[in-house]
Amino acid sequence: MHIRQFDLRRDLQIVLQFQHEIYERNFPGFKVTQKFLNDFARQLRAADRSPAERLWVLEIAGQVRGFVWGALITSMVDEFVGYIKNIYVAPELRGQGHGRRLLETAEEWFRTEGAPKATLDASMCNQQALSLYIKAGYHGERLRMEKSLNEQFGRGIDYDRRDTTQRESRPAGQNPGSERPGR
């Protein structure tokens, strides 16, 4: 088991493949489409160039089996904080401490950059992930509640048919807070 920094050329496609399970499991009714993956790939490329974002991959026997994406951000309520944008561990490896090690890797980077705390968003339907976060020392601070105002954006979301002309397109679950400039 080895955790190393994300390499865009080597790791992009496998991290994109993980998004199917991440988003379809945590957002019931959501279907990952090619448009979604293209948008996500664009965001990964931008993160790879940003001093305010880092990704690490979990490698086992030469294969990438998980990853974590951390960012240094400023939000409406936090002047400067480490934010876990995305984390994944292959299903057959869960419960073995790999997720905790990935979190610790991102948290250590947050500490070295001076972030006073780490935050993340979690889906209430993913009890296994919630258990990991609680065991790793995270606690509920706020609760994001949702109400569908249009069936088009309720269950059965079609990412390709969303109207993104009025707002920036970003995959669900991303913190809309602005990022702190890199150090």
Q: Is residue 26 part of a domain?
A: yes
pLDDT of 157 over the 70 cut: no
Phi, psi dihedral angles at 11 (to 5 degrees): -110, -10
Q: Is residue 171 part of a domain?
A: no
CATH number assigned to the domain comprising residue 127: 3.40.630.30
Q: Is residue 183 part of a domain?
A: no
Rounded CA-CA distance 174/121 in Å is 8
pLDDT, one tens digit per residue, over 110-143 is: 999 999 999 999 998 899 999 999 999 999 988 8
Q: How many domains does the chain have?
A: 1
* Cβ count near 88 (within 10 Å): 24
Q: Is residue 23 part of a domain?
A: yes
**What's the domain range around 60?**
2-161
Q: Which residue has the tokens 């009714």?
A: 29
Q: Is residue 92 part of a domain?
A: yes
Q: Is residue 181 part of a domain?
A: no
The whole-model pTM stands at: 0.80
Across 36-56, average pLDDT: 98
Across 27-42, average pLDDT: 95
Q: Is residue 126 part of a domain?
A: yes
